[in-house]
Structure 1
Amino acid sequence: MTKREEIQKEVEALYQEGTKLAVAFQKKEEKQFQYDYQRWYTKALKVVSVLAPDRHAEFRAYYEIDAKRKSLGYETYVIQDYIKNVVPNKINYPKFDTRSQTLQCFFNQITILNAVSEFIESNLSNIEGQIYSEIQDGGILIARQLLKVSIRAAGALVGVVIEGHLQKVADAHGIKIGKKNPTISDLNEPLKAAAVIDTPTWRKISFLADVRNICSHKKDIEPSKQQVEELIQGAEWLIKNVF
């Protein structure tokens, strides 16, 4: 079972747990709703925050009392009110059903969780992409700082960033690379052969590979600061333009 499949299974189990709890609550069969719901909500909130951050605030809003709330009624009642045994004014809302309102909020949360489950593949891919992008940006930032201390080390670090990016491009296009630990050149050639990159881009990457080799392998030649600055700029260009 892959990691994605494991996550899918866990999210589905959490969805089913919430559904059963909601049904029991609706039928007034629950014995300890507050405890069971709090346990479910804590787990579900974390899942939504990671896999669907754009729905996180909405998910919380169905449970958490708005600190800026000015009145309590049908549109502002949340699950936390029920747990705290808070009810609207009986004069203004004589037929207000706290269980019905709580169930509606709970149902909305379960629906959001179900949506996360349906799009988990794309959500995980987006997360992985965001994380990797942050790692790339961090590597380039460190290289710029390292340039003040060691030109060769800065160039070697950027070379790793370029290799990692080109490997992801190859993977995205289904291009198999023969070597276990391919260099920039080992990745550049197959990408050109598969028409993923054009000749000008291939030449630019070839130049970057040469500079990287000077920084990492040719100890008898010292790389210049200008060369490594061009290597860093080239890496930034690749990340933004070659996919």
Structure 2
Amino acid sequence: MTSLLTVRNLSVYYGAKAQAAERVSFDVGTGSVVALLGANGAGKSSIMKAVAGLVPATGEITFDGEPVQSLPARQRVQAGIVYVPEGREIVGNLTVRENLVLGGYHVPGVARRARIDMVLDMFPEIANKADGPAWRLSGGEQQMLAIGRGLMAGPRLLLLDEPSLGLAPLLVHRVFERLATIRRETHLAIVLVEQNLRMTMRLCDEVHFLRSGRIVGWRRAQDLKGEAARQEAIDAYLGATASH
């Protein structure tokens, strides 16, 4: 499979000494889903933000064969790299539709309206609330809006940070169902940071295990289908006390 994103020796620092990620390398194939798994503080979100251009980093980031590490975040969005942050960060006092418009701010008007229709068709839970304020949405609906807002930019690579955070199990299942549909219908590549290992395994092709800012192991999802195999990988790469 052709590599869409190539990350080599990526390091992220906050301040002079605090290192969030150290010499991280991985690839994301066109249309594939790659998961980053690790405890809180392992550096997962920092890696995602570095790829999106939201935090300074060293190393090499190549997207569709072109180096992008020197590009600002806005140009990476235009190239097709879109980050959906942890905690959703929707604009509550704007309507659902207005939040979607924000996601496609650089898209011409006709194409933007078509994408809004596409997103509302994909997420019917928010379609009948499109003209109401976003703060009235439930947690699951807000997550659907956040993903839909990301899709408005027409991404080729979606960076999804903890999409199940704070959601009830039924809503987690629904969100992941929609992600599977999006992947199947659009061939979108996804980098997924997630704590819910069981749901992650249903969606991803491979998983990279992180500990203390470093990738310490890699497995294909097909090798982690059984509960025993998943637990063995967690014990080996994250420590026997890890709870996933």
User: Whose radius of gyration is greater, 1 or 2?
Assistant: 1
Q: Normalized against structure 2, the TM-score is what?
A: 0.21
Q: Which has more helix, going by share of residues?
A: 1
Q: Which has more strand, going by share of residues?
A: 2
Q: Normalized against structure 1, the TM-score is what?
A: 0.21
